[in-house]
């Protein structure tokens, strides 16, 4: 009898909730959606979002308002995202590995993991590069750079502590006895200004934020940290080609919501973002910018994030955890 009563109570209370949720999802979205970007305006994530969003807005029928929240290696913005209502009206770009290192690093004591985010769609996967100032006289290629950095301390810019740039730098120091010292910035715009202005010796960054400067002669990319050469900078050899194996680096950037978003809203957003990413104008402009579109959704996107988490865990000793 108790079991029957329990089922009856659940039925009485759950059915209206289901109908209310379905009705809310049916009307969604009714107003602009805020999208948090955890790095500065003019950086790679910001630029990619501004290229993509017009196509997604056409699909959704409402504006996507970009809110830049740089700082803390991305965690100013991600903390705001996690503290936002799960009503479908606040989304955010999640950047890995920065997101993952930020909650695994024990010094921050963040009680957060992947389960606190609802991944919607990966947008870009961007491989790492090493670049130098166009007027650099001390070294002109990777061999000269490594030899110089083995004998001298060199400053090297990153987009934040424990991000992909920082990890790549630590790998170089560990495997090739270089002495790169990180200079962390709030994002790619500040990072690019640092190397072009001669304020740092070396730049560890990504294809997307340096390929145009390289092609224009404003910077000199001397190696790409990827399994193969990039079509955006085909003249630049990989570290592997140059005899420096074991240092692969990339940054992935995708859209996520706080945990608890209505499944119907999540599905609608996923479909809108995928169609937006497939838009020919978006694809053409991303090609111009040197940003590699890498669409992943559902289980494929979550598996990508979980695999990246495992790869970060394998670097705990290198990161000093």
Joined tokens for residue 268? 């609608």
Paired residues of 253 in beta bridges: 95, 124
Distance CA 308, CA 313 (A): 9
Same fold, 31-126+251-313 and 127-249: yes
Specify the pLDDT at position 52. 98
The topology (CATH level 3) of 31-126+251-313 is D-Maltodextrin-Binding Protein; domain 2 (3.40.190)
Q: For the chain, how far is it from start to end, CA to CA, in angstroms?
A: 55
Joined tokens for residue 234? 């085909």
Specify the pLDDT at position 8. 30
| Lookup result for tokens 């560990």 | 174
> What are phi and psi for residue 298, nearest 5 degrees?
55, -135
User: Per CATH, is 127-249 categorized as 3.30.360.10?
Assistant: no
Are the beta carbons of 100 and 70 closer than 8 angstroms? Answer: no
Distance CA 180, CA 153 (A): 6
Joined tokens for residue 172? 């170089």
Nearest in space to 96 (alpha carbons), one of 45, 130, 47, 49: 45
Distance CA 303, CA 165 (A): 22
Positions of E strands within the chain:
33-37, 64-68, 90-96, 117-133, 154-158, 180-184, 202-206, 219-225, 250-258, 293-297
Distance CA 47, CA 42 (A): 6
Peptide bond preceding 29 in cis form (omega within 30 of 0): yes
Nearest in space to 61 (alpha carbons), one of 268, 274, 283, 264: 268
Output the CA torsion sign for 136, 140, 141, 142: negative
Peptide bond preceding 97 in cis form (omega within 30 of 0): yes
Paired residues of 107 in beta bridges: none
Angle at 104 between CA 108 and CA 94, to 5 degrees: 95
Specify the pLDDT at position 161. 84
**Helix or strand run (H / E) with residue 20:** helix 2-27
Distance CA 148, CA 134 (A): 17
User: pLDDT under 50 in the chain at which residues?
Assistant: 1-21
Joined tokens for residue 290? 């040197």
Specify the pLDDT at position 25. 67
Distance CA 59, CA 67 (A): 20
For residues 159-180, one letter each, b for 16 or more C-beta atoms within 10 angstroms of the residue's C-beta and e for the rest, the string is bbbbbbbbbbbbbbbeebebeb
User: CA Rg, the chain, in Å?
Assistant: 22
Specify the pLDDT at position 205. 95
Specify the pLDDT at position 174. 94
| Lookup result for tokens 């002669």 | 217
**Which sequence spans correspond to the domains of the chain?**
31-126+251-313, 127-249
| Lookup result for tokens 């029957």 | 4
């Amino acid at each position: 009898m108790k079991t029957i009563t329990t089922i009856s109570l659940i039925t009485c209370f759950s059915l209206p909730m289901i109908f209310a949720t379905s009705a809310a999802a049916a009307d969604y979205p009714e107003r602009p959606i805020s999208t948090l970007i955890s790095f500065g305006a003019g950086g790679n994530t910001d630029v990619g979002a501004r290229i993509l969003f017009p196509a997604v807005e056409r699909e959704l029928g409402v504006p996507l308002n970009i809110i830049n929240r740089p700082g803390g290696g991305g965690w100013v913005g991600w903390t705001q995202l996690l503290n936002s209502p799960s009503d479908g009206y606040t989304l955010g770009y999640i950047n890995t590995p920065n997101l993952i290192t930020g909650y695994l690093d024990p010094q921050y004591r963040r009680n957060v993991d992947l389960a606190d985010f609802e991944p919607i769609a990966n947008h870009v996967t961007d491989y790492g590069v090493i670049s130098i100032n166009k007027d650099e006289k001390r070294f002109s290629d990777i061999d000269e750079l490594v030899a110089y950095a083995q004998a001298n301390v060199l400053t090297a810019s990153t987009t934040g502590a424990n991000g992909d740039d920082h990890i790549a730098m630590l790998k170089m120091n560990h495997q090739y006895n270089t002495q790169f010292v990180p200079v962390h910035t709030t994002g790619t715009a500040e990072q690019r200004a640092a190397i072009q202005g001669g304020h740092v010796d070396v730049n560890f960054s990504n294809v997307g934020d340096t390929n145009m400067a390289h092609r224009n002669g404003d910077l000199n990319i001397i190696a790409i940290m990827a399994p193969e050469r990039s079509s955006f900078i085909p003249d630049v050899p990989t570290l592997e080609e140059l005899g420096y194996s074991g240092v692969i680096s990339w940054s992935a950037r995708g859209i996520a919501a706080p945990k608890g978003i209505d499944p119907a809203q999540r599905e609608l957003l996923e479909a809108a973002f995928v169609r937006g990413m497939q838009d020919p104008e978006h694809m053409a402009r991303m090609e111009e910018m040197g940003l590699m579109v890498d669409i992943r959704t559902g289980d494929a996107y979550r598996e990508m994030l979980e695999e990246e988490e495992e790869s970060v865990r394998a670097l705990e000793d290198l990161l000093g955890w």
